[in-house]
Amino acid sequence: MICCVKDCTRGTILSDTNIPVRTMAPRPEGCRAVAETLGRIGDKWTVMVVGSLAQGPMRYNHILRTVEGISQRMLTLTLKGLEQDGLVTRTMYPTIPPRVDYELTELGRLLIAPLQSLHDWATEHRPAMLAARAAFAEKESEAASQRARFTTPK
């Protein structure tokens, strides 16, 4: 159960028509956790930074070059968030010029597996999603032209 819902009931679940549907093992204790976690890693850059750091420890500018399109500001903020949540360690060498290494913690490395499964789903099913989106767009414009035919008949 991945829900964050009110009625994480146990046992058989009844639909509105009282017909038993799929049964799952609910885990109420983690319902809120999923949403919060996704709120944390679901932003625009976090997964890419984590994915980048999955290769190993990396310096600030190296991540900056690796994660295409990220700005200094966003990288700094993302790394700070990850460090704050204990997913990344920041090691500063007070040399001149300064050098800062970032590395995934054990916690951060454990996150790689779930992200990998999400990655696999994404790569495998993205064509289907794109197709669905295209089909949906077509139906939309079709319906729009239908409406237009009756609302603006000149």
Site residues (vs DNA, CB under 7 A): 43-45, 59-62, 69-74, 76-77, 79-80, 90, 92, 97-100, 102
Question: Using CA atoms, how far apart are residues 115 and 47, in angstroms rounded to an integer?
Answer: 8
Q: How far is the CB of 45 from DNA (least distance, A)?
A: 7
* Closer Cβ to DNA, 11 or 69, answer by number: 69
Question: Using CA atoms, how far apart are residues 52 and 47, in angstroms rounded to an integer?
Answer: 8
* Closer Cβ to a second copy, 27 or 152, answer by number: 27
Q: Could you tell which of a second copy, DNA, none binds residue 136, using a CB distance below 5 to 8 A set by kind?
A: a second copy
Question: Using CA atoms, how far apart are residues 110 and 112, in angstroms rounded to an integer?
Answer: 5
Name the burial class of residue 41, with classes exposed (0-12), middle (13-18) and buried (19+) by CB atoms within 10 angstroms of its CB: buried
Q: Which of 73, 78, 68 is nearest to 43 (CA)?
A: 78
* Closer Cβ to DNA, 55 or 71, answer by number: 71
Stretch that binds a second copy, among 19-27, 71-79, 141-149 (CB under 8 A): 19-27
